[in-house]
Structure 1
Amino acid sequence: MSTATEDDDPFEEQREEVDNAMYRLFDVYGRDNWVAALVGVVASIFARVLDLIPAIMLGYAVDALTGDAAFLPFLPASMRPSTETGGLYVAVAVIAGAFLVGAAFHWLRNWGWNSFSQHIQHAVRTDTYDKMQRLNMDFFATKQTGEMMSILSNDVNRLERFLNDGMNSVFRLSVMVVAIGVVLFTYNWQLAVITMLPVPIIAWFTYRFVKAIQPKYSDVRSSVGHLNSRLENNLGGIQVIKTSNTESYESERVEGVSQEYFDANWGAITIRIKFFPALRIISGAGFVLTFLAGGYWVLVGPPPLMSGSLSAGEFVVFIQLSQQFVWPMAQFGQIINMYQRAKASSERIFGLMDEPSRIEENPDAAELDVDDGEVVYDDVTFGYDDDPIVQHIDFEVEGGNTLALVGPTGAGKSTVLKLLLRMYDVDEGEIRVDGQDISKVTLPSLRRHVGYVSQDTFLFYGTVMENIEYGTFDADREDVVEAAKAAEAHEFITNLPEGYDTKVGERGVKLSGGQRQRIDIARAILKDPEILILDEATSDVDTETEMLIQRSLDRLTEDRTTFSIAHRLSTIKDADKIVVLEDGEIVERGTHADLLAEDGLYANLWGVQAGEIDELPDEFVERAAERTADVDVDESED
């Protein structure tokens, strides 16, 4: 199984556009949390300085016992204990005080860095989600749910780990290195130089590690997105897997993407597990040199090229602090390791945040004011990447009337109506509601006046009540019940185990398709929009359920401007106007009777549903075969 590469990263294009991602993270989100970071920095300094006191006190004690120096020389002579027992008590008090005060600073340090990281994590996740949900629908058509979940979950969590553990360690280790270095040079600068000999080697080794590990982490981020996408896709389609008896096939596919993640992650692990033992050897070599030179100095005298004296107490301090000095230097590699992971994640996060939207809203846009509900499409053209999907769409719907859109699969019907909701913005032409260009009004006000009932009904995990009032959160229970009654849903809802408080399950799995559809209609009735879009609202239900849904739709569409898409032409034959689309263009328009009389595409589609297959012209059948083969995947929902 091949390892994922950066080319496989679905967000690679976004990542390439991001400069200085980590600087931006601190600049944008760190400013609001600088107090917590300052507490963390200051507490780190004091906590680590206090941690040095026990080792220093031990050195003084050793020198005092051997008679090389006075015990507690940092105290004025008048304050030094006169007895050894008194000196012991003072030393114990100093060490205990250092531990107690140090514990307080350790607590402050942890509070500061945890507060800093948690607040930034929360802000980044919510901002990323907010940006993501406002992107165009064509963005979601090219990205899988698992890949986007990977950013909101894994990448954001990785930032938190660096901001907490990584930043904490940066200041903790920096203070240790500086403070210990000052102490060691103060005691004996010559031996301190020997202690620091491994430092440039560690720096060079760390640099090589970073160069090797960075591309590996990019591979890991890509492969984990693939794995999440496969798992999310399979769990969402578990019914199809079971009915198709393809459990073994899907297990193999999951094993494949899991192996891809394993290979990428193992590649990073292989480098990492070589790096840290090697650093330990280098730091150990520094300790051995310090121990050898210092021990020789105490027992024999200064080693060659060195001069001066070294007491036993000073040697003890060197032995204790040299390990605490060299090993933190090695741990900087671990911090860089965390930094590289966080950098890759921040690039994905900001790459997503910077994703441009095709829908541009003027901050000074006016609120849409709907009175009659008249809708006009004025020579509208739209497409992706200069490839038109619909073009020269031109029609007018008077307020309160119904217009039906029909046509073969892939003709562009759903796209035409998604333009009214501004899921996309038109490339040419205008769409006007009561004379107002919808591109010049605010999106919230536009969508507040337009209701949408789809064939693919989506219910959120929660109760029936919560799903009906979704989007109309200020509605009271009586309004919800009245909307359900109008949608022919009240009777089946009251028969549920807990009535309106029954949990519907994920995506409404506990309800039938017809029940979910009627809840969706109740939601639209409760919203009470002036303009209504019905997108294949009854195509996937049985005849009896269709009758109930059609009755609720009749109530819903009464006195509203209504757009209806339907493959079952019997459901729209009474529309005030029917527009027939083919290959993204209007080819016929009129009433049901007018279009039958024209004996064109609409009449042929009607003949298909009437069972008059043998009477259809050969040209229509051949054209239908071509359309089926060439249907645009972007219009597959039509």
Structure 2
Amino acid sequence: MSADQESVFDEYRESVDRPLYRLFTAYGRDVWEWFALGMVANVVARVGSLLPPLVLGAALDSIFTGDSPYTLPLVPASWLPATDPAQFRFSVIVITGAFVSTAVFTWVYGVAANTFAHRVMHEVRTDSFEKMQNLDMAFFDDKQTGEVMSILNNDANNLEVFLDNALQNSARLVVMAVGVLGIMVWLNAQLALVMLVALPVLVGLTAWFMRVVVPRYARERANVGHLNTRLENSLSGVELVKTTGSEAYEVGRVRTASKNLYDATMAVLRLNFVYRPGMELVAGLAFAATFAIGGFWLFAGPPRFFTGTLSAGAFVTFILLTQRIVTPLAEVSNIVDQYENAKASSERVFGLMDIPARIRDAEDATELTDVDGDVEYDGVTFGYVDESRRDSSANQNAERSGEEDEVVLEDVSFHANPGDTVALVGPTGAGKSTVVKLLLRLYDPNEGSIRLDGHDLRDVTVDSLRDAVGYVGQDTFLFDGTVRDNIRYGHFDAGDDAVVEAAKAAEAHAFIQELPDGYETRVGERGVKLSGGQRQRVSIARTILQDPPVLVLDEATSAVDTETELAIQHSLDALSEDRTTLSIAHRLSTVTDADLILVVEDGRVVERGTHDALVDEDGLYAALWDAQTGDTRALEQELLE
């Protein structure tokens, strides 16, 4: 997927309304007390940091120069000491107390704000992952793992930075701006106007930055996902890359994705290169103007347009407070930067959460119990949906027409009585795997129905259905863990003896015992430390442990040698003896005893019957049988015709 292509995340992201407000309302309510404590502590800490300059100015004018009485804003004169020594001691105590209180409440804020931020992000990550787990297989057919990982990691981290830093700096900016300007106006309203003149310029510069940077942040986040996808794909397919000598090609693809991210990031940074220095320049010029006008006023009298007097203490307070407000004003760029980054990330997070899950339990879904294994496909037609064409507005559950989707199965019907074995054979890509995946309700048919014990699959709970149907696929996946953990996966409370018995039934016990740590041997990511046949036998053991009434075998012995296949097939025959089995077979010799064989071609069942009957029909099945048993004349004749 190129950086210019719109993904399903982008489609739903565009419809997310007020994402940061939604973040607080959806996830902040349960931990609001931490947020409130942090904000109060932050305000107290910032107010405390304003006291030392104010007290210093009052002490300078009253104690050291005697120009004016000792006064503090909002403090009655009767509460203040009357003598110089007492005023000095009071000033020392207040200044010391202010620094101590600032440190203490800054610590309280740090604990509260970080607890709030990390609790929220923990919930966002886990909810996003849970949502991803509950999405349909159609979503994963169309989407890329790297892009999902970008949302779970990068975007979630951006939100965490915003909750940790941007909120703290925003609160500090508000308190400092209001407090500093209030004190300045109280001390000398005319000189305070010098700083106030800079505010419209700062606001205008910020408004311009926010308007221009938003689409650039969206492109940057999208390119992060594209790069993650490219890296994930290249690393997952490293064996193919090396065996085909395609290292340079993959490096080129990663280089292109990285360059796209570089360009998108630089587009954001170029704005920051103007905005951040611009904010600092305006704030710095305001400080310089305050110093110049105040200093001239102090030693030469009020400049033009100014009247009255300015004391040395008031001037010193102005200079100290102006320096304190310059840093928060300059950090407006960081706040806006983090805000816009978090906004773009939260749109992607909630865009993922808003993607509807179409395979879900009906409101009155039935729990399957005591399943006999009666399976019936009735006129099933199915086509994979192109997610990029889905309408994300009103009708999320609308059926897609066959003309719009890629039709994979058409009018498939058959019936398997409890205990029957139904085999599906046919050319690669004929739709055999899709037939059995519909039984697990990884997808829903576009037309027709599938019934288990007379229940339409859409009317039963998904969990009870998948507990009743065991699946062994041709693409075996093992998690990075022990052999025992992988056999037990899905039935985590199974005892060790049951695990061993399942391994024996799958002809896996012998090779497991020869592993360095036996059942406690770690198999590596995707089971890379085991051979293909070993991984397949572990997968079969996992299904045997499940002991399902319905068994699905999707070329379950495709990754093993002939000798191992015979051993496993013997176990599978015993396993499927008393349960309904749907078996996809590449080697027709493994299904000759099936109760019903379906020959699938181009998504349709073109032949059906027992092995002997199909051979006698001299059709496609007979040709495939002859090809596998060494007699190719019938196949050649069919090809000539």
Name the TM-score, length of structure 1 as normaliser.
0.93
Separation of aligned partners in 1, 2:582 and 2:557: 14
1:30 Cα deviation from its structure 2 partner: 1.6
Mapping of residues 99-138 of structure 1, within 5 Å: 99-138=99-138
1:327 Cα deviation from its structure 2 partner: 3.8
- Residue number among 4, 26, 36 corresponding to 1:28 in the alignment: 26
1:544: which partner in 2?
Answer: 563
- Once the two structures are superposed, what CA deviation does each residue of 1:137-174 show, in whole Å capped at 9, x if it has no partner? 12111111111111111011111111111111111211
Moved more, 225-234 or 88-97: 88-97
Separation of aligned partners in 1, 2:369 and 2:450: 15
Separation of aligned partners in 2, 1:10 and 1:529: 36
1:44: which partner in 2?
Answer: 42
Mapping of residues 321-470 of structure 1, within 5 Å: 321-383=321-383, 384=385, 385-387=400-402, 388-470=407-489
Separation of aligned partners in 1, 2:630 and 2:177: 86
SS class of match (2:58): helix
Structure 2 counterpart of 1:588, one-letter code: E
SS class of match (2:331): helix
1:249 Cα deviation from its structure 2 partner: 2.4
Separation of aligned partners in 2, 1:7 and 1:405: 38
Q: Are the aligned partners of 1:411 and 1:583 in contact in 2 as well (CA < 8 Å)?
A: yes
1:630: which partner in 2?
Answer: none
Which blocks of at least 5 consecutive residues in structure 1 are unaligned?
623-638
Separation of aligned partners in 1, 2:168 and 2:363: 41
1:223 Cα deviation from its structure 2 partner: 1.4
- Residue number among 51, 54, 58 corresponding to 2:56 in the alignment: 58
Separation of aligned partners in 2, 1:246 and 1:6: 25
Separation of aligned partners in 2, 1:4 and 1:140: 18
Distance 1:8 1:198, change over 3 A: same
Moved more, 376-385 or 501-510: 376-385
Moved more, 273-282 or 11-20: 11-20
Separation of aligned partners in 2, 1:265 and 1:210: 16
Separation of aligned partners in 2, 1:228 and 1:514: 31
Separation of aligned partners in 2, 1:267 and 1:211: 14
Q: Are positions 1:504 and 2:513 aligned together?
A: no
1:621 Cα deviation from its structure 2 partner: 7.0
Distance 1:5 1:403, change over 3 A: closer
Structure 2 counterpart of 1:516, one-letter code: R
Q: Are the aligned partners of 1:373 and 1:398 in contact in 2 as well (CA < 8 Å)?
A: yes
Structure 2 counterpart of 1:443, one-letter code: V
Which blocks of at least 5 consecutive residues in structure 2 are unaligned?
386-399
Structure 2 counterpart of 1:235, one-letter code: L
SS class of match (2:381): strand
Structure 2 counterpart of 1:513, one-letter code: G
- Once the two structures are superposed, what CA deviation does each residue of 1:315-371 show, in whole Å capped at 9, x if it has no partner? 111111123224423322321111111111111111111112222421331201233
Q: Are the aligned partners of 1:454 and 1:534 in contact in 2 as well (CA < 8 Å)?
A: yes
- Once the two structures are superposed, what CA deviation does each residue of 1:1-25 show, in whole Å capped at 9, x if it has no partner? xx97554556222212322222211
* Total equivalences in the alignment: 619
Separation of aligned partners in 1, 2:607 and 2:628: 18
- Once the two structures are superposed, what CA deviation does each residue of 1:223-280 show, in whole Å capped at 9, x if it has no partner? 1111111111111111122222222222222222111211211221122122111111
Q: Are positions 1:15 and 2:13 aligned together?
A: yes
Q: Are the aligned partners of 1:370 and 1:449 in contact in 2 as well (CA < 8 Å)?
A: no
1:631: which partner in 2?
Answer: none
SS class of match (2:366): coil
Separation of aligned partners in 2, 1:78 and 1:402: 95
Distance 1:175 1:614, change over 3 A: same
Structure 1 counterpart of 2:20, one-letter code: M
Distance 1:78 1:106, change over 3 A: closer
Structure 1 counterpart of 2:611, one-letter code: H
1:188: which partner in 2?
Answer: 188
SS class of match (2:356): coil
Moved more, 323-332 or 279-288: 323-332
> Which structure 1 residue ranges, 4+ long, deviate > 6 Å from structure 2?
none
Q: Are positions 1:166 and 2:185 aligned together?
A: no
SS class of match (1:503): coil
Distance 1:513 1:67, change over 3 A: same
Q: Are the aligned partners of 2:420 and 2:579 in contact in 1 as well (CA < 8 Å)?
A: yes
1:149: which partner in 2?
Answer: 149
SS class of match (1:321): helix
1:464 Cα deviation from its structure 2 partner: 0.7
1:197 Cα deviation from its structure 2 partner: 0.8
Distance 1:376 1:10, change over 3 A: closer
- Once the two structures are superposed, what CA deviation does each residue of 1:475-511 show, in whole Å capped at 9, x if it has no partner? 1111111111111111111111111111110011111
2:587: which partner in 1?
Answer: 568
Separation of aligned partners in 1, 2:551 and 2:564: 21
Structure 1 counterpart of 2:530, one-letter code: L
1:555 Cα deviation from its structure 2 partner: 2.8
Q: Are the aligned partners of 2:624 and 2:635 in contact in 1 as well (CA < 8 Å)?
A: no
1:77 Cα deviation from its structure 2 partner: 5.4
2:388: which partner in 1?
Answer: none
Moved more, 513-522 or 21-30: 21-30
Q: Are the aligned partners of 2:425 and 2:598 in contact in 1 as well (CA < 8 Å)?
A: yes
2:285: which partner in 1?
Answer: 285
Q: Are the aligned partners of 2:280 and 2:326 in contact in 1 as well (CA < 8 Å)?
A: no
Separation of aligned partners in 2, 1:294 and 1:245: 73
Separation of aligned partners in 1, 2:459 and 2:479: 32
Structure 1 counterpart of 2:499, one-letter code: V
Separation of aligned partners in 1, 2:268 and 2:514: 56
2:535: which partner in 1?
Answer: 516
SS class of match (1:423): coil
Separation of aligned partners in 1, 2:281 and 2:632: 83
Q: Are the aligned partners of 1:6 and 1:12 in contact in 2 as well (CA < 8 Å)?
A: no
Q: Are the aligned partners of 2:430 and 2:601 in contact in 1 as well (CA < 8 Å)?
A: yes
Q: Are the aligned partners of 1:6 and 1:218 in contact in 2 as well (CA < 8 Å)?
A: no
Structure 2 counterpart of 1:578, one-letter code: I
Q: Are positions 1:67 and 2:86 aligned together?
A: no
Structure 1 counterpart of 2:167, one-letter code: M
Separation of aligned partners in 2, 1:438 and 1:454: 21
1:556: which partner in 2?
Answer: 575
Separation of aligned partners in 1, 2:640 and 2:307: 103
Q: Are the aligned partners of 2:71 and 2:80 in contact in 1 as well (CA < 8 Å)?
A: no
- Once the two structures are superposed, what CA deviation does each residue of 1:67-117 show, in whole Å capped at 9, x if it has no partner? 112346657558626453x54433222112112222221112112211111
Give aligned-pair identity as a percent: 51
Structure 2 counterpart of 1:70, one-letter code: P
2:617: which partner in 1?
Answer: 598
1:629: which partner in 2?
Answer: none
1:627: which partner in 2?
Answer: none
RMSD: 1.9
SS class of match (1:19): coil
2:389: which partner in 1?
Answer: none
Mapping of residues 176-325 of structure 1, within 5 Å: 176-325=176-325
1:453 Cα deviation from its structure 2 partner: 0.4
Structure 2 counterpart of 1:44, one-letter code: N
1:495: which partner in 2?
Answer: 514
Moved more, 363-372 or 458-467: 363-372
Distance 1:371 1:10, change over 3 A: closer
Structure 2 counterpart of 1:116, one-letter code: F
Structure 1 counterpart of 2:496, one-letter code: R
